[in-house]
Amino acid sequence: MNYSIQDFVQLIAKLRDPNGGCPWDLEQTYQTMIPHLLEESYEVVEAIEQQNTDNLREELGDLLLQVVFFSQLAKEDNLFTFDEVINEVAEKILRRHPHVFGEAKAHNEQEALRHWNTIKAQENKNKAYQSILDNVPQSFPALMRAEKLQKRCAKVGFDWDNIQPVMAKVQEELQEVQAELARPQQEQAKIEEEIGDLLFAVVNLSRHLHCSPEEALRKANQKFERRFRQVETRVKQQGKSLQSSTLTELDRLWDDVKKQENC
């Protein structure tokens, strides 16, 4: 049987029906569903990165479930319906693509993005925000939010126009971390502040180099995990354990794994 999106909306509504619905689903709220929304979003990302199309299909379904479930909660609260969610995003797509659905022209990616950003900026202006930073969500991952804040400021000219002062700022922040560590009486709160400044500067460097800091760190995590798993394997092949190996031995194995990857 092939189910339609409306069939699926009705399935979720049935789960939330006080007369015969699921006890677990009936207990859920906007707040309790947030972890599930985040988890499913990251699982979609993982399926994409692993190029697992079967898993991607399943995870996209799980993510859609979250959207429909939140919409059902909103319907029960007389806020909006799933149809209104679809209608609003469809109107946004039509409005922000005048080069597809209107008379405007876009001959390349840059021109298309310019249309999108111009219209989006006008929409935000109409919402009467007090600051250009007002609608950058606090709930974003810290690296992503830092990049978004910097991009917003860059749009109004608050940005360096070349890479040299950006690099210098990273060096400056690193030196301030070192200076804090050199104090006779270290303050953990101050160290954390300086580490935050350093990370913010590194995000800025990444942005200027047209790299996503979130994506760059994700790939660095994957590389570290891949290499350390190989170190673990080699330690076991030697009949030893990580705990019984010295740091020098582990470093040597790490270097061997790294050299093998770079060959």
Identify whether residues 177 and 242 lie together within a single domain.
no
Identify whether residues 203 and 227 lie together within a single domain.
no
With pLDDT > 70 as the criterion, what percentage of the chain qualifies?
A: 99
Whether 106 maps to a domain, the answer reads no
Q: What pTM did the predictor assign?
A: 0.69
pLDDT, mean of residues 151-170: 93
Identify whether residues 158 and 220 lie together within a single domain.
no
Whether 174 maps to a domain, the answer reads yes
Query: Residue 1: its pLDDT value, please?
Result: 84
Name the pLDDT band for 120 (thresholds 50, 70, 90).
confident
Contacts of 153 (CB under 8 A, 6+ apart): 132, 133, 159
Identify whether residues 231 and 205 lie together within a single domain.
no
Identify whether residues 20 and 44 lie together within a single domain.
yes
Whether 203 maps to a domain, the answer reads yes
Exposure of 35 in the CB half-sphere (CA atoms within 13 A): 2
Whether 136 maps to a domain, the answer reads yes
Identify whether residues 257 and 195 lie together within a single domain.
no
DSSP helix, strand, coil percent of the chain (3-state; round to 5): 75, 0, 25
Selection from 167, 191, 169, 189 nearest residue 179 by Cα: 191
| Separation of alpha carbons 166 and 34, rounded Å | 36
Residue-range definition of the domain harbouring residue 240 = 215-262
Identify whether residues 188 and 133 lie together within a single domain.
yes
Give the DSSP letter string of 92-118.
HHHHH-HHHHSS----SHHHHHHHHHH
Taking only the tens place, the pLDDT of each residue in 7-24 is 999 999 999 999 999 999
Identify whether residues 67 and 52 lie together within a single domain.
yes
**Most confident range, picked from 74-78, 149-153, 182-186, 257-261:** 74-78
| Separation of alpha carbons 111 and 118, rounded Å | 11
Examine the fold and report which residue of 69, 95, 121 is the final residue of a domain before the chain moves on.
95
Identify whether residues 185 and 254 lie together within a single domain.
no
Whether 104 maps to a domain, the answer reads no
Q: Give the CATH number, domain containing residue 32.
A: 1.10.287.1080
Selection from 134, 122, 130, 148 nearest residue 214 by Cα: 148
Identify whether residues 20 and 83 lie together within a single domain.
yes
Q: Count up the domains in the chain and report the number.
A: 3
Identify whether residues 163 and 186 lie together within a single domain.
yes
Identify whether residues 43 and 63 lie together within a single domain.
yes
Run of H or E residues at 217: helix 213-237
